[in-house]
A and B are shown apart, each in its own frame.
Chain A
Amino acid sequence: MSEPPEHPRRNRNSAWPPLAGLPLALLLILPLFALVAHVRPSRFLHDLLQPATLKAIVLSLATSVTTVILSVLFGTALAHCLARRQFPGQGILETLISLPMVLPPAVAGIALLLTFARGGWLGTTLATLGMEVVFTPLAVVIAQTFVSAPYYVKSATIGLANVSRSLEEAAALDGASPWQTFRDVTVPVAWRALVGGAVLCWARALGEFGATIIFAGNYPGRTQTMPLAIYIGFQIDPDQALALAAVLLALSFALLMAIRLSFSQILP
């Protein structure tokens, strides 16, 4: 699907022998099977139905979906600006926005704490408004957005920049409003990059651990997401942690697979 028709797939004389990718594929897949293989089926349901486990699943889904919605909403605006406009310092801004992707999550957590804690830059203002961020589900969303929105912005910027200007201008000439042009021309053309970026963003948000435990803390039902529950649980009850890890794996697999399938339907 990614190869143009004039270059059909060749099995012979390929630059890379077909098995050259095997070591990496094994490394990526084997640990996942090891994890699933160690889940005890007899206890799986029991472990899964523990209140703390269910709370972690609900919280993880709710916060990561919120993160994706926020990232797509504001990230598209930001990406559109970066892709369509030219302004001084653009390169520096783009690099700064990408920085959270390379920061160790612990550093992200500390940075957020210093921003939102009492006495922090925003924390003081928020406190006078009676708003507390640290140790709340909002802190979880902020931590996830901080580390995962850049994946969406990056992908969306590239996607939007690749939409040809003449296509949009043609739509405008036909009388489409800027918003109609964006909705009916730009988005469908950049669709793959937008959805791909959103999926990466969601995946990163769902797995977020380091920034969350430092910035949002760990409290069942409030800030204890699945990765936190797995980490803490592994030290008390490894079986329960394994059950939760398997759920996280299954959820991620189902969503990535569903998006893949719907992709091949929309874009043959």
Chain B
Amino acid sequence: MTNWQKIALASVVGLSGCGRSAAPPGKLQVFAAASLAEPFTELGRRYEAAHPGVSITFNFAGSNVLRLQIEQHAPADVFASANEAQMKALLDGGLVNSDSVRVFAGNRLTIIVPSSNPAHVVAFADLAKPGLKLVAADKAVPAGAYFEKLLERAAARTEYGNSFSSAVLANIRSREENVEAVVTKVRLGVADAGIAYQSDLHGSAGAFLTGIDIPPDINPPAEYPIATIAHGDAPELARDFESFVLSPEGQSILAAHDFLMTPTK
């Protein structure tokens, strides 16, 4: 799918050809992490309503995929990432405007179980139950990287320890390619439990899922940075949209989707 997106994007560039720099100023391309799909769609709708003549196109995918696309100079104006690592890579490559990088939202990992909760998971410690079918995101995507960090922190704690972390790892049945796939597997009941974001409980799958809190002192804060793209066609519009995301109105939309309003750092 990602290759197709790349090809589609490349053909858009090709078709507009020499007129690329003369693209209408009212068009904005926003590349945002898959977990941001719902709040960003709403943010875009609100922004368009307030700015007649502006049309926003979204490209939602894993942050790592979006980063690869931006590195291939896909036509993007704004990048909203689910972790710092992808943003830092683009920053180091000079592909985003360094003065525009801001953290705009926070998130936390949570345990998700099907509403029927077949394995009776009620606390974080239950993740080590022998035979529990657990799914998590792969280390390649932010949610998986945060999960690794969570297990490291748990291993360092006396109440959990190394044996706890290795028992949890032994329960992992699959490392999914993105956090949405984790949510789907749990929703379908293929897995007893999954590791996802708190904001995923707000999404359309939320009705089928129950969230179980992870102790906040070991739960690594997920931070979502946003920046404008250096090779973007609509730099002013991009900055204005970023300001809107950071504005009280934008923040309240994110908060309504269970993202943390005040970044934890």
- Give the B-binding residues of A (Cβ under 8 A): 113-114, 117-119, 132, 134-135, 213-214, 216-220, 223, 231-232, 235-236
Complex CA gap A132/B191 in Å reads 11
Q: Which residues of B contact A214 (CB under 8 A)?
A: 181
Verify B64–A118 contact, CB threshold 8 A.
no
Verify B188–A232 contact, CB threshold 8 A.
no
Verify A235–B62 contact, CB threshold 8 A.
yes
Cβ-neighbour of B177 out of A132, A220, A232 (below 8 A): A232
Cβ-neighbour of A232 out of B118, B135, B138, B181 (below 8 A): B138
The answer to whether residues A118 and B190 also contact, given A135-B173, A219-B173, A219-B175 and a CB cut-off of 8 A, is yes
Nearest CB of chain B from residue A143's CB, rounded to whole Å: 13
User: Nearest A residue to B189 by beta-carbon distance?
Assistant: A118
Nearest CB of chain A from residue B15's CB, rounded to whole Å: 20
Complex CA gap A135/B190 in Å reads 9
Q: Which residues of B contact A134 (CB under 8 A)?
A: 173, 190
Verify A223–B65 contact, CB threshold 8 A.
no
The answer to whether residues A235 and B188 also contact, given A217-B173, A217-B174, A217-B176 and a CB cut-off of 8 A, is no
- Chain B 50-90, CB-CB to A under 8 Å as 1, else 0, gives 00000000000010110010000000000000000000000
Counting contact residues on chain B (CB < 8 A from A), the size range is 20 to 34
Verify A218–B190 contact, CB threshold 8 A.
no
Complex CA gap A219/B173 in Å reads 7
With A113-B188, A118-B190, A217-B174 already in contact, 4 other A-B pairs whose C-beta atoms are closer than 8 Å: A114-B188, A119-B189, A218-B175, A235-B64
Cβ-neighbour of A218 out of B68, B177, B188 (below 8 A): B177
Verify B190–A219 contact, CB threshold 8 A.
no
Complex CA gap A249/B181 in Å reads 29
Cβ-based interface call for B172 (8 A):
yes
User: Nearest B residue to A210 by beta-carbon distance?
Assistant: B1
Verify A236–B188 contact, CB threshold 8 A.
no
Nearest CB of chain B from residue A69's CB, rounded to whole Å: 26
Verify A223–B189 contact, CB threshold 8 A.
no
- Give the A-binding residues of B (Cβ under 8 A): 62, 64-65, 68, 118, 133, 135, 138-141, 172-177, 181, 185, 188-191
Nearest CB of chain B from residue A159's CB, rounded to whole Å: 35
Verify B65–A235 contact, CB threshold 8 A.
yes
The answer to whether residues A117 and B173 also contact, given A217-B135, A218-B138, A232-B140 and a CB cut-off of 8 A, is no
Verify B189–A219 contact, CB threshold 8 A.
no
Nearest CB of chain A from residue B152's CB, rounded to whole Å: 18
27 contacts between A and B (CB under 8 A): A114-B188, A117-B188, A117-B189, A117-B190, A119-B188, A135-B133, A135-B174, A135-B190, A135-B191, A217-B135, A217-B173, A217-B176, A218-B174, A218-B176, A218-B177, A219-B172, A219-B174, A219-B175, A220-B175, A223-B174, A232-B140, A232-B175, A235-B64, A235-B65, A235-B140, A235-B141, A236-B139
Q: Which residues of A contact B177 (CB under 8 A)?
A: 213, 218, 231-232
Complex CA gap A142/B181 in Å reads 20
Q: Which residues of B contact A135 (CB under 8 A)?
A: 133, 173-174, 190-191
Nearest CB of chain B from residue A10's CB, rounded to whole Å: 39
Complex CA gap A199/B68 in Å reads 34
Nearest CB of chain B from residue A116's CB, rounded to whole Å: 9
Give the most central of A219, A235, A236: most B CB within 10 Å.
A235
User: Nearest B residue to A215 by beta-carbon distance?
Assistant: B190
Nearest CB of chain A from residue B81's CB, rounded to whole Å: 13
Verify A236–B140 contact, CB threshold 8 A.
yes
Complex CA gap A138/B36 in Å reads 35
Nearest CB of chain B from residue A228's CB, rounded to whole Å: 8
Give the most central of A132, A214, A217, A220: most B CB within 10 Å.
A217
Nearest CB of chain B from residue A117's CB, rounded to whole Å: 5
Nearest CB of chain B from residue A219's CB, rounded to whole Å: 5
